Chain A
Amino acid sequence: MEASTTPKPLPNRPDQKMPPLPKGSRIQKRPLPAPLSHRLSSSNTSRSSTLSTIPTDIDGYRPPPRAPHTLIIKVTSNAPFMSLVKRVRKGLESRSSLSRQQSTKGLPLTARIAALDTTSGGSKEGGSGNGLGPVEDALDDVVLVATGRAIQKAVEVGCFFTRERDLMVLLRTRTVRGVDDFVRAEEEDGGGEDGSEKEEGSGARVRAVSCVEVGVRWRAT
């Protein structure tokens, strides 16, 4: 969220456009990368250091870190609405303040000992005082991630939860980058049959995709 002083080209209005596709080529999308999981480690590393390691988006936006317990739900455009609501509810219930005892399983011994100290003070309100607003904001219990046609659905589900008094719903926009292959049109339908299809006429390039994150969390009591 840092305001960069130098005017940076926006991703949707870049200085240089991508070169046009070569004649006779066609785009083939690779699967999108998984939702980012730069979680705040529950170990002794300070939050500011974690913050600095978070990769920035294409537009220089540094997304807030995720809490270790956050449940990430990828929303597909044809997912039933109530199914999503139920999954969010289930996630929230298991992550209510009562049952949220952070597991130290799998951590090294030193981290476990450090976790013992911090948990006594209440892990949730750890960084409220040190001016890390966005960090606190991002400790969602459940995050819905959606791109493309699924954005509408994710926002609808988010709106559904705004009427619950105990919950807080935050919405962030992001940019994710996916990779596209461009292949020769005549060989595209080969599927597994046509084998390797890379040559100077084909290749891969990066495409920016709009993404919405809807964070749902319990209101601090």
Chain B
Amino acid sequence: MDNNKKQSASGKAAADSKKRKEAPLNQNQQGKESRPPARPQKRVKFQDARNIRSQPSDAALDDGKLDLQKFLSAREFEIKALETSMRKCKSANATRVFQQVPREMRRRTASHNAKRVPKRLRDRAKREMMEDNTPTVEARKRRPRTTRARIRAENAKRLEKLAARKRKRALQNEAGGENKDEPGKTTIQTRAPRPKIRRDTLNEPPKPKSKFKKRQINKTWLPTHLWHAKRATMTEPTKPLWRFAIPLTPTQKCYRPTHRASGQKGTVFWDTSYMSTARLYGAAGGIEQVLKALGLVQESLWGNRGRKWRSGTRTWSGMVSRRQRNSRRDIGPATILWNPTLTAETAAPESNTTELKKTQRQILIRTHPSCFLELFDELVKLAKLQTPQVHIEDLRFEIGSIELTGPGSTETLLAVLKPYHTEDRHGQVFSSLVGVTNPASLPKDAVLGFSIKDPRLSYPPKRVDTTSKVSDSALLDTLTQWPVEEQVKPYGLFDRDVRFKASSLAPQKSINRRKGASIPGQEMPVTAADPPIPVIAFASRPAAGGQAQGTWTLLAPWKCILPIWYSIVHYPLSTGGNPRLGGLNEQRQIAFEQGTTWFPGDFPGTNAGVVWEMEQRAQRKKAWDRRPKGKRIEWASLDLGAGRKGEIGDGLACDFEHLFGLPTDPSPSSSEDQLTSDVDPNAMDLHPGEEAEDAAKLGKVHKNTVPSLTMVEQMKKTDFQALISSVNPGRPPPRSIISVNITFVTRGVANACARIYRLPSRPSATTTVQSSETEVPATDPVAAGMGSLPADLRDQWLQKIPGNKSGSRSTKAITAHAAPHMSRDVGQGTRKQLMAKSLVSGDPLPYPRPTANQTDIGGGHPLCPGEEDLIGFVTAGAYSLSGGKGTAVGAISAEKAFDMVKESGTKEGRLCIVRNAGENVGWLARWELV
């Protein structure tokens, strides 16, 4: 009995302990009589503030008569009461202090805890906590609740004991064996082990600390992972992207701030250490052959005009490709940089070409991780063919990188990167860039390679003084002359030893100690313990050109990224604020706003793009499957008007297979409409073995089946333009696509997977168009209702262009539906008669009423063209903040685009109609090559 009682009592106590106790002030209330309990007091305050006094209106009635003066004064009083109440409510401070913390700082859990708010607010927070009686928990003292947590806690305790024992033993050893060790220490000197870099094979990622080893089994962390994991949404632990844990987007909402920071004011920066780097070294001739085999065949690179690139003061960026059976297939974008040689100046004139080709040179190839394996294999294959052999080193985890864009990017880099050697030419040029607000205003693809001091020595970074600049003519001289060629030295980043030395930076502890010893606010001097950090910074211009912002890319040794990162994060920009963090989504957003493509998402013509597209399809399918049946789009029942039913192809995919009549995969995207996948015999002209190889490279997603999407090829903008401008052109290769940037003419916003149509041809020309070979088989049920499309559909669409003289609205369509308008002079009698007649005659309204799209959308909107006019798909689309209207990036069939431009000129041929998947309204848009 007693026991029971005890238990119940303790249970009660436990239950009580879960509730909030009274504020501590309450308990010693007897001592301090002056103050009433805080919480009730606050409630009274609120009630008082919110209470609006009023007077009943019958008070103003005097014997049934209204006393106007009384009545008015009562109302006056009421209004005043309302106003005071509003004022009081505001001052009653219904908000907690942590709600005033700027949004970017409010990111941790338990921010109600006074210890989590900034110092200036801490006192108020403490008081509020006291008043509200907020329970606080110290994580350290919390008792483990789950079994797992208990086991962990026990383990920790045991480990602590172990560590203590170990420490003790070490101390004993030191005390006892000091004299014995003395001679040994002086005789043998060892150097710290350098990481192994094997040539011609892939290298292992750096060995993580044992504490973090388990979390990096199937992926690698970026050097800034721990920083990012607290501030950004990362890829899912089990689903890394390209074998990396990559930050996708900051936790904060940042769509519009990113737009501002990338274009108008501020900086966006990324840790792009996941970008892969490889070093190719050997005879210059061999390297040239390898590069030419990768598709760098432009004469402008190898002639006199590419001298600056070959001397190492410019980069080359573009698509690299590999040979297939009888064509070339794009691998992905790459940046290629030569290491300057000491003798570059003398070798420059075409003195002795054979000797020039024998000199040992090195290049750095930087590419996207999604296409790295493909490129690396190709490089190894090509390098082995050269005599003497060219070798290749995988420097993926040796060289990391940071990218910055925005007006403040140059300023930020200037504050963080302090040249180590003052006489270094590139360092001098870099330091003279004060006042540059756009990396694109540097010469195209400019490179600066120099060594910097440890950024922790000047941490926190100071604001760059732009006011002390004497004249901007010096800057203009630098920008026009760009004096980096003379006395150019080989870049330290290419050298393994230099990289290694830089990686063994002084520990933070010793930096702190030195900082404590020096005068506050002063920059610490460089000592022998601070190795120079070799960096390469290159500026790239946006493909869009114009006033758009360029990008800085900073390459540095993998282990030096973190100290540089911390300095960049905390740089106070001259325009206010700090640089903004970006993730993968922000990178895509900025590319989209500049109207350029983003790899791999916008390149379905490359293997990496195919993998991306397949993953996106699976994701969309999963999201679609999860929705209840009533709330998801039924693709089969989509009504496109004129008797057409069902979405064209798969609504959840950029269905290029459907466009080109390729066999569909049995993969996750199973569409409702049964596609007659009659395999074209000559559609499989690709070498099956090679395709299988590709599939192996593509990795996990499709192990057994090669997606037929890989048969689609990407066509280059320059090739397409050359075709168009040539007098006697051939045709673009079948199943090739070109990337386009789409801008809506009037309104409309496209999403990913939106369908792109060309303008329907006029009836006379229909027959010629339909004869083209890329036609989808006519067995498709969707194409059956073609006949009922209006004959003047093209003109209807053309009328949608604003400023088109022939009437912005098709008036015919409107009058067809509105009642016939009677003229004014029709008499009342006749009107009545007519109306009665119309009522009696019983000309019934059609039932069910025709859907909006069948006859008109919003008053005479033209119908979507038929399936034979489908030319491509949108890969990224949204409302563009920079354009002020809907824009999109997509890919269209090169053949059809070629036909369009050839038939109807560059102006009308660039018009297209974009319809979102699952919708029946299309909008007029214009496409532009990118």
Residues of A within 8 A of B (CB): 28, 30-34, 36-39, 41, 50, 53, 55-56, 58, 106, 108, 177, 179, 181, 184, 187, 189-206
Query: What residue of chain B has the Cβ atom nearest to residue A199's Cβ?
Result: B305
Query: What residue of chain A has the Cβ atom nearest to residue B319's Cβ?
Result: A193
Interface centre among B547, B548, B574 (most CB of A within 10 A): B547
- Whether A196 contacts B546 by the Cβ 8 Å rule is no
Chain A residue contacts of B716, Cβ below 8 A: 193
Q: How far apart are B107's CB and chain A's nearest CB, in angstroms?
A: 21
B39 on the A face (CB < 8 A): no
Question: What CA separation (Å) do A190 and B721 show in the bound complex?
Answer: 10
Chain B residue contacts of A53, Cβ below 8 A: 467-470
- Whether B718 contacts A190 by the Cβ 8 Å rule is yes
Query: What residue of chain B has the Cβ atom nearest to residue A78's Cβ?
Result: B884
B223 on the A face (CB < 8 A): no
Q: CB within 8 A of B717: which of A31, A191, A200, A206?
A: A191
- Whether B472 contacts A195 by the Cβ 8 Å rule is no
Given known contacts A55-B473, A179-B480, is B443 in contact with A204 (CB within 8 Å)? yes
Q: CB within 8 A of A30: which of B308, B440, B718?
A: B440
B479 on the A face (CB < 8 A): yes
Interface centre among A181, A184, A194 (most CB of B within 10 A): A194
- Whether A204 contacts B479 by the Cβ 8 Å rule is yes
Q: CB within 8 A of B441: which of A50, A179, A190, A191?
A: A179
- Whether B471 contacts A55 by the Cβ 8 Å rule is yes
- Whether A193 contacts B318 by the Cβ 8 Å rule is yes
Question: What CA separation (Å) do A200 and B305 show in the bound complex?
Answer: 8
- Whether A37 contacts B547 by the Cβ 8 Å rule is no
- Whether B467 contacts A38 by the Cβ 8 Å rule is yes
- Can you identify 7 A-B contacts, CB atoms within 8 angstroms? A32-B547, A37-B574, A38-B467, A187-B300, A192-B543, A194-B718, A196-B305
Chain B residue contacts of A30, Cβ below 8 A: 440-441, 479
Query: What residue of chain B has the Cβ atom nearest to residue A191's Cβ?
Result: B543
- Whether A196 contacts B718 by the Cβ 8 Å rule is no
- Whether A198 contacts B308 by the Cβ 8 Å rule is yes
B301 on the A face (CB < 8 A): yes
Question: What CA separation (Å) do A49 and B6 show in the bound complex?
Answer: 83
Q: CB within 8 A of A189: which of B301, B574, B718?
A: B718
Query: What residue of chain A has the Cβ atom nearest to residue B471's Cβ?
Result: A55
- Whether B546 contacts A31 by the Cβ 8 Å rule is yes
- Whether B308 contacts A34 by the Cβ 8 Å rule is no
Chain B residue contacts of A187, Cβ below 8 A: 300, 305
B298 on the A face (CB < 8 A): yes
- Whether A195 contacts B466 by the Cβ 8 Å rule is no
B438 on the A face (CB < 8 A): yes
Given known contacts A30-B440, A37-B466, A204-B443, is B471 in contact with A192 (CB within 8 Å)? no
Q: Which of B174-182, B309-317, B655-663, B670-678 interfaces with chain A?
A: B309-317
B476 on the A face (CB < 8 A): yes
Chain A residue contacts of B482, Cβ below 8 A: 204
Given known contacts A31-B441, A204-B479, A204-B480, is B317 in contact with A195 (CB within 8 Å)? yes
- Whether B467 contacts A206 by the Cβ 8 Å rule is no
- Whether A39 contacts B467 by the Cβ 8 Å rule is yes
- Whether B547 contacts A55 by the Cβ 8 Å rule is no
Chain A residue contacts of B481, Cβ below 8 A: 204
Chain A residue contacts of B467, Cβ below 8 A: 38-39, 41, 50, 53
- Whether A177 contacts B471 by the Cβ 8 Å rule is no
Question: What CA separation (Å) do A37 and B265 show in the bound complex?
Answer: 13
Chain A residue contacts of B470, Cβ below 8 A: 53, 55
B435 on the A face (CB < 8 A): yes
Q: How far apart are B793's CB and chain A's nearest CB, in angstroms?
A: 32
- Whether A199 contacts B304 by the Cβ 8 Å rule is yes
Chain B residue contacts of A202, Cβ below 8 A: 305
Given known contacts A184-B305, A194-B298, is B480 in contact with A206 (CB within 8 Å)? yes
Interface centre among A33, A38, A41, A108 (most CB of B within 10 A): A33
Q: How far apart are A109's CB and chain B's nearest CB, in angstroms?
A: 9
Question: What CA separation (Å) do A201 and B300 show in the bound complex?
Answer: 12
Interface centre among A30, A184, A187, A193 (most CB of B within 10 A): A30
- Whether A56 contacts B471 by the Cβ 8 Å rule is yes
Q: How far apart are A204's CB and chain B's nearest CB, in angstroms?
A: 4
Given known contacts A190-B718, A191-B543, A204-B479, is B314 in contact with A196 (CB within 8 Å)? yes
Q: How far apart are B493's CB and chain A's nearest CB, in angstroms?
A: 19
Q: How far apart are B68's CB and chain A's nearest CB, in angstroms?
A: 40
Question: What CA separation (Å) do A177 and B477 show in the bound complex?
Answer: 11
Query: What residue of chain B has the Cβ atom nearest to residue A41's Cβ?
Result: B467
Question: What CA separation (Å) do A58 and B477 show in the bound complex?
Answer: 13
B437 on the A face (CB < 8 A): yes
Question: What CA separation (Å) do A36 and B319 show in the bound complex?
Answer: 38
Question: What CA separation (Å) do A195 and B317 show in the bound complex?
Answer: 6
B307 on the A face (CB < 8 A): yes
Known pairs A53-B467, A106-B463, A187-B300; list 20 more (Cβ under 8 Å).
A30-B479, A31-B546, A32-B547, A34-B435, A55-B469, A58-B473, A106-B572, A108-B521, A181-B444, A189-B718, A191-B543, A191-B717, A192-B318, A193-B298, A194-B298, A195-B301, A195-B309, A200-B304, A202-B305, A204-B443
Question: What CA separation (Å) do A189 and B470 show in the bound complex?
Answer: 37
Question: What CA separation (Å) do A177 and B304 show in the bound complex?
Answer: 30
The 8 A CB mask of B703-725 against A (1 = contact, 0 = none) is 00000000000001110010000
State which residues 533-552 of B face A: CB under 8 Å: 543, 545-548
Question: What CA separation (Å) do A178 and B110 show in the bound complex?
Answer: 52
- Whether A194 contacts B300 by the Cβ 8 Å rule is yes
State which residues 381-440 of B face A: CB under 8 Å: 407, 435-438, 440
Q: How far apart are A142's CB and chain B's nearest CB, in angstroms?
A: 15
Q: How far apart are B523's CB and chain A's nearest CB, in angstroms?
A: 14
Chain B residue contacts of A34, Cβ below 8 A: 407, 435, 437-438
Question: What CA separation (Å) do A106 and B298 show in the bound complex?
Answer: 51
Q: How far apart are A152's CB and chain B's nearest CB, in angstroms?
A: 18
- Whether A195 contacts B306 by the Cβ 8 Å rule is yes
Given known contacts A41-B467, A53-B468, is B480 in contact with A195 (CB within 8 Å)? no
State which residues 478-499 of B face A: CB under 8 Å: 479-482
B445 on the A face (CB < 8 A): yes
Query: What residue of chain B has the Cβ atom nearest to residue A193's Cβ?
Result: B318
Question: What CA separation (Å) do A187 and B299 show in the bound complex?
Answer: 10
- Whether B305 contacts A55 by the Cβ 8 Å rule is no
Chain B residue contacts of A206, Cβ below 8 A: 476, 480
- Whether B316 contacts A196 by the Cβ 8 Å rule is yes
- Whether B443 contacts A198 by the Cβ 8 Å rule is yes
The 8 A CB mask of B433-470 against A (1 = contact, 0 = none) is 00111101101110000000000000000010011111
Question: What CA separation (Å) do A161 and B685 show in the bound complex?
Answer: 69
